[in-house]
Amino acid sequence: MVTIARHNKGLTVNRNGRGMLCRLMQGLLVMVLLFVVVTTILFGWDLNDMFHYSEEQVTYSSSSSSSSSSSSISIRDIASYYFNGNQQTVSSCLVEPVKSPTAVIAAKKALTDGTTTTTMPPPQNSSTATVMAMATGYGLHEYKSFVGSLRKSGYQGHIILAVSPDLEPETEKYFKSRNVDFRKVQYVNCTNPILSPEETANEHDEELVTCVHPYPTLKHRWARFPLLRDYLRDCVTCTGPVLVTDMRDTVFQRDPFGPDAPVVPPNTLQVFQEHYTMRTTNWLVDWPVKDCKGVQFDEPMLCSGTTIGTRSAMLEYLRVMHAEMDEWMKDPKCCCFKTNGDDQSIHNYLFYSGKLDHIAVAIPNRVGLVNTVGVHAALIFENHVANQRKALEAAGQNADDAHMVPFDLTADKRYDRDGGNWLGLHYGMTDNEGYLVNFDGTRSFVVHQIDRFGIHYMFWLEDNKDKFLDE
């Protein structure tokens, strides 16, 4: 029986001889252990079999002033104990306490009697997550598409929407039934309107001359960034990941923060690339950034309509966006572009100039949580409409309704939108049931810019609302 003595002050190695004898004993121990390790590696021998000891036969004795006990320990444990940081004490040949193998033995005992517990992180759930949007000026149909698909996905967290002050009672009732935190904004006159009232010809123009309290210096589209920051900051239970998104053209196919979703890393902001053909050389970024900052980028386009991050990273991003917008508004070269889309100009400028390096990472399209389909969808739809127009004109028919002709499915699927594929698998964007997919074939969590497909996706969504929407 191999016995290691352990007194009340710890495991000790008694030095009865001089240093020479001590070093000799140490050398022999090292040689034995090295021999054991080398032969085990070369010949695959079992250490305990080689020394003719079983786990039960190899014990250690523990004694103190009041009690003593013994427990099993293997040769492997002793070798591991020696090589894992305890050799200095042994090599000193002094009578001094060292760590005993008790922890090793306790762990082995727990493994054999089933008392061991492995701490694993709980599955991710969306109960503390937040989805936020500036959602003014829409009807119940649009709200049901957004909120209904999000709740249908299994999402359990917060939904915070900034809505118009004259919200319809029916919409309020729907929001309450789906646990939506809706905040009615207060419209105010802009201190620096970009257009005169006479120049406003449509809803987009009206946004350029409409501001939201308490940010009268920022046009409507820009104000969502500080406004949603304020809402998020005030929500003490919004402790999980956050999605700030456009509302009208966004749907959810899976819970973006559920157990199957990729976890957002700590203190990280995720910005999402569009289709690879869309670059920052596009006028939407190139024109404002060049005129305002005097710089140009040729990089993948990042969409400002969907951004995901942890709470801290999102608050920081929204703070940086607001600060940059304030700077633009102070500069005559930057303040007054007659477009609603220049929040995307600032979004890309901040990322590619390095001002978000401390938090932000860019996610390629159709890889992460968001699938921004706009560019690809528009290419498909516009080409489809052009081909249908030619075909109708060649047949002497009215081509005005070319956009209503279904996509090029097989004949047996063309009018079978109920549960079937509405686009056609040859485009590689959908699965057999019509859901939009990432490059790996899995269903996308969040789909943005769905309106670029034209009316056909909306037909499919309506026909399949029982499985797609929580109405």
Q: What is the pLDDT of residues 70-98, one digit of tens each?
A: 333 344 443 443 344 443 333 334 333 43
Does 65 fall in a domain? Answer: yes
Q: What is the CATH number of the domain that holds 162?
A: 3.90.550.10
Question: Does any domain span residue 122?
Answer: no
Nearest to 77 by CA among 106, 97, 42, 52: 106
Answer yes or no: do 139 and 101 share one domain. Answer: no
**When comparing pLDDT for 440 and 338, which is higher?**
440
Write down the pLDDT at residue 75: 41
Count of domains for the chain? 3
In total, the chain counts a number of residues equal to 471
Whether residues 360 and 385 share a domain: the answer is: no
**Tell me, what amino acid is at 303?**
C
Same domain, 206 and 316: yes
* pLDDT (average), residues 24-41: 60
- Report yes or no on 346 lying in a domain: yes
Please state, in angstroms and rounded to a whole number, the distance separating the CA atoms of residues 263 and 368: 10
Backbone CA torsion sign across 357, 359, 361, 366: negative
* SS3 state of residue 102: helix
Output 231 or 342, whichever has higher pLDDT. 231
Could you tell me if residue 120 is inside a domain? Answer: no
Are the C-beta atoms of residues 274 and 301 closer than 8 Å to each other? yes
| 101 lies in the same domain as 155 | no
| Mean pLDDT for the chain overall | 80
Check pLDDT > 60 for residue 252: yes
Looking at the structure, do residues 49 and 189 belong to the same domain, yes or no?
Answer: no
> pLDDT at residue 50 above 60?
no
Check residue 35 and give its pLDDT: 65
* Angle of the 342-352 helix axis to the 220-234 helix axis, nearest 10: 60
Question: Are 80 and 143 part of one and the same domain?
Answer: no
Is 103 a residue whose pLDDT tops 50? no
**In this structure, are strands 181-184 and 187-189 parallel, antiparallel, or unpaired?**
unpaired
Q: At what angle do helices 283-293 and 342-352 cross, to 10 degrees?
A: 70
Same domain (yes/no): 265, 399: no
Please give the pLDDT value at position 85: 41
Angle at 199 between CA 138 and CA 327, to 5 degrees: 75
Among residues 145, 146, 151, the alpha carbon closest in space to that of 126 is found at 151
CA dihedral in degrees (317, 280, 219, 330; nearest 10)? 80
Residue 106 pLDDT class (50, 70, 90 cuts): very low
Per-residue pLDDT tens over the stretch 114-160: 554 556 667 789 999 999 999 999 999 999 999 999 999 999 999 99
Model confidence pLDDT, tens digit, residues 189-229: 888 777 666 666 666 656 667 899 999 999 888 999 999 99
Backbone angles phi, psi at 38, to 5 degrees: -65, -45
Which residues span the domain enclosing 270? Answer: 130-372
Distance in Å from the first CA to the final CA of the chain: 74
In degrees and rounded to multiples of 5, residue 148 shows phi and psi of -65, -40
Q: Are residues 191 and 339 in the same domain?
A: yes
111 to 48, 60, 296, 334: CA distances (angstroms): 19, 19, 61, 66
353-369 in b/e form (b: 16+ CB < 10 A) is eeebeebbebbebbebb
Q: How far apart are alpha carbons 179 and 250 in whole angstroms?
A: 19
- Rounded to 10 deg, the angle between the 311-330 and 342-352 helix axes is 110
Residue 353 inside a domain? The answer is yes
User: Is residue 459, in this structure, part of any structural domain at all?
Assistant: yes
| Look-up of token digits 């993948």 | 300
Higher pLDDT: 171 or 123? It is 171
pLDDT band for position 410 (cuts 50, 70, 90) = low
123 within a domain of the structure (yes/no): no
Q: How far apart are CA 249 and CA 452, in angstroms?
A: 9
Residues sharing a CB contact under 8 Å with residue 1, sequence separation 6 or more, in sequence order: 57, 58, 59
What pLDDT is attached to residue 258? 97
367 & 387 share domain: no
The verdict on residue 324 lying in a domain is yes
**Looking at the structure, do residues 426 and 355 belong to the same domain, yes or no?**
no
Choose one of 49, 82, 113: the last residue of a domain. Answer: 113
Q: Are 402 and 356 in a shared domain? A: no
Q: In terms of domains, do 195 and 257 share one?
A: yes
pLDDT at 425 (0 to 100): 85
What percent of the chain clears pLDDT 90, i.e. is strictly above it? Answer: 55
CB 156 within 8 A of CB 225: no
Query: Where are any strands of DSSP class E within 73-217?
Result: 130-134, 158-163, 181-184, 187-189, 210-212
Domain end (from 113, 144, 175): 113
**What 3-state class would DSSP assign to 226?**
helix
Look at residues 372, 397, 423 and tell me which one is the last residue of a structural domain: 372
341, 284 contact by CB (below 8 A) = yes
